[in-house]
Amino acid sequence: MCSILGIFGLQPGDDVVALRRQALEQSQRQRHRGPDWSGVFVDEGAILVHERLAIVDPAGGAQPLRSADGRLVLAVNGEIYNHRALEQSLEQPYDFQTGSDCEVINALYRQAAETGRTGAWLDRLNGIFAFALWDRERQRYLIARDPIGVCPLYWGHDDAGRLCVASEMKAIAPTCADVAPFPPGHVYDSATGELQRYYDRPWRDHEATRDVAVSPKALREAFEAAVHRQLMCDVPYGVLLSGGLDSSLVAAVAARFARRRIEENDASEAWWPRLHSFAIGLEGSPDLKAAAVAAEALGTVHHGFTYTFEEGLDALPEVIRHIETYDVTTIRASTPMFLLARRIKAMGVKMVLSGEGSDEVFGGYLYFHKAPDAREFHDETIRKLDALHNYDCLRANKSMMAWGVEPRVPFLDVDFLDVAMSMDASHKMVGADGRRRIEKAVLREAFEGYLPESILWRQKEQFSDGVGYGWIDGLKAHAEATVSDRVFAAAASRFPVNPPQSKEAYLYRHLFEQFFPGPACAATVPGGKSIACSSPAAIAWDAAFAHAADPSGRAVAGVHEAAVA
């Protein structure tokens, strides 16, 4: 994973030399994402800059990637896990120039452009990506983002009307007054001037899932295949292990495949056969204790790190600058993840697997206990998946990539989603089959025997809770002491876009504004919508949630305190 920056729509009178220099300066603001190498392409119609984090084919694979005839130029941030299968399925020969997994995008585009079948090829990619492709012959460019939005991407227009795209907002916000997130699962084609959704699935409609059952074996095998795909790597890697269900399942499955080299179809021993796991928390935190238990059972080389409240507080400005949001839940959880990424980087690890997405797919948030029926449950999982790019995916990607560590998320693998989301939501509910069960029971039952019972059946903790309750309580106390009543009373006039609803939110918004001033930057954050307790669905399910202003899992009264058996 890396960073990209593109400027398109150059005109004959443009000073290309000055624009190249500007593009390099802009790209430097996101070089933390790709510290291994920088590449630049410039011609009369486009400028592409790439900052590389070398994960696959580290000796080659430098970007922008160019076709043998020089007509196609591609800058990608991401990984294409099924690139070998796609390469073998090509109907037309393509002269690959590197061993990069991303170069298959050029091959697929060329094949589609020459055959006239220009719609379906993007949907064949199984991976996480954001890319800009320049077709010099046709003077055409494509901008696209992966289906869920695991990889960040922003776009906007500069004063001259040129289209600018970048992996992080900080790279183009100073020159683009209309900067905005590029929507996941979409492609922009300059040939038509249209932004189109390329990723859609029947399971988004509850009716398509009605009465569909997925066996524990099928669910387990689909997830095992997702983890196996995502172990594609030529550098040292590890797993994030909080000791909760999701990260522990990722670690357990990864441990079963870690000794073989995925890029060679498991035909040879892995270059780094010992699986390393990483956890962080305040001294005595629930996650650190649970992670140690899981690591012992799985046999990983485990690294449990502690941080102090003061260290977390000191990091807040840098965290907000990197993650580019003022959302309360996201900042609470991003800070320990940011500190952990720095430790991981110091150990020479460049890629980690993480557990994001499971709660959205299986209704793991505690307020899902209140869902009245399968349709409501299913529709809320769709809403949560659609919002992930603003919250958990943003947190995991930007917190880790702040230190050049790539996070991968097997629960959001598109093939796994097709299995897990096709299931009738009635099987996911806590009241399924007339029994009262713990959240995500269908997932836990699929992996019986994989983990210690204390981990497999551990109840949901939000990451910011699990690192130690003193973290959240300390943040709220610090904000109360820092933000005066008088200042907070004027919050709506100072911040008319998504005005902060608490002193903690005001503190984060104040820091965000220092790095990202202006209404366009503020509008990139959907204010308040990450608070599970105030989700429109949650309020409809239980009116008591309307009064829960705190996004901590502990705030879900009557649910967190009383785990179901």
Convert the pLDDT of each residue in 156-174 to its tens digit. 999 999 999 999 999 999 9
Q: What is the mean pLDDT of the chain?
A: 91
Type and span of the H or E element at 333: helix 328-346
Please answer whether residues 339 and 281 qualify as being in contact, where contact means their C-beta atoms are separated by less than 8 angstroms. Answer: no
**228 and 191 within one domain:** no
Q: Is residue 492 part of a domain?
A: no
| pLDDT, position 319 | 98
**270 and 185 within one domain:** no
Which two tokens mark 327?
Answer: 């959302």
| pLDDT, position 7 | 98
Single out the residue of 304, 291, 305 nearest to residue 252, CA to CA.
Answer: 291
Task: Please report, for the domain that includes residue 38, its CATH number.
Answer: 3.60.20.10
Q: Count the domains in the chain.
A: 2
| pLDDT, position 55 | 86
**222 and 187 within one domain:** no
Single out the residue of 330, 384, 328, 331 nearest to residue 358, CA to CA.
Answer: 384
Which two tokens mark 217?
Answer: 């074996």
Q: Is residue 512 part of a domain?
A: no
| pLDDT, position 434 | 62
User: Do the strands 237-240 and 194-197 form a parallel or antiparallel pair, or are they unpaired?
Assistant: unpaired
Which two tokens mark 154?
Answer: 């922003």
How far apart CA 388 and CA 355 sit, in angstroms, is 13
Residue set of the binding site for ATP: 240, 280, 354-355
**317 and 187 within one domain:** no
How far apart CA 53 and CA 167 sit, in angstroms, is 13
How far apart CA 330 and CA 463 sit, in angstroms, is 10
**CB neighbour list of residue 317: distance below 8 Å, 6 or more residues apart:** 511, 514
Among 441, 468, 495, residue at a domain's last position: 468
Counting every residue, how long is the chain?
565
**Residue 261 identity:** R
Cα 218 to chain centroid distance, Å, stands at 25
| pLDDT, position 366 | 87
| pLDDT, position 550 | 59
**226 and 184 within one domain:** no
Task: Please report, for the domain that includes residue 360, its CATH number.
Answer: 3.40.50.620
Distances (CA, A) of 513 to 1, 523, 525: 28, 12, 12
**252 and 190 within one domain:** no
How far apart CA 478 and CA 379 sit, in angstroms, is 37
**263 and 175 within one domain:** no
**220 and 188 within one domain:** no
How far apart CA 397 and CA 1 sit, in angstroms, is 10
**Residue 152 identity:** P
In the beta sheet, which residues pair with residue 242? none
Q: Is residue 413 part of a domain?
A: yes
- pLDDT, one tens digit per residue, over 373-416 is 999 999 999 999 999 999 999 999 999 999 999 999 999 999 99
Q: Is residue 206 part of a domain?
A: no
Residue set of the binding site for L-glutamine: 101
Q: Is residue 279 part of a domain?
A: yes
**263 and 193 within one domain:** no
In the beta sheet, which residues pair with residue 50? 4, 39
**265 and 349 within one domain:** yes
**CB neighbour list of residue 106: distance below 8 Å, 6 or more residues apart:** 65, 67, 72, 74, 94, 133
2 included as an active-site residue: yes
Among 171, 200, 229, residue at a domain's last position: 200
**151 and 234 within one domain:** no
User: Do the strands 3-8 and 46-52 form a parallel or antiparallel pair, or are they unpaired?
Assistant: antiparallel
Which two tokens mark 480?
Answer: 């109360």
- pLDDT, one tens digit per residue, over 404-455 is 999 999 999 999 999 999 999 999 998 766 667 899 999 999 999 988 898 9
| pLDDT, position 275 | 92
Residue span of the structural domain in which 160 resides:
3-200
| pLDDT, position 556 | 52
Q: Is residue 209 part of a domain?
A: no
Among 468, 502, 519, residue at a domain's last position: 468
- pLDDT, one tens digit per residue, over 476-534 is 999 999 999 999 999 999 999 999 999 999 999 999 999 999 999 999 999 744 444 55
Residue set of the binding site: 101, 240, 280, 354-355
| pLDDT, position 466 | 66
**306 and 181 within one domain:** no
| pLDDT, position 564 | 37
Tally of CB atoms within 10 A around 258 = 21
How far apart CA 436 and CA 440 sit, in angstroms, is 12
Q: Is residue 136 part of a domain?
A: yes
Q: Is residue 508 part of a domain?
A: no
Radius of gyration (C-alpha) of the chain in whole angstroms: 23
| pTM of the predicted model as reported, rounded to 2 decimal places | 0.94
| pLDDT, position 479 | 98
Q: Which of the residues in the chain have pLDDT under 50?
A: 528-532, 554, 557, 560-565
Question: Residue 222: helix, strand or coil by DSSP?
Answer: helix
Considering 2, 151, 233, 393, which one is annotated as catalytic?
2
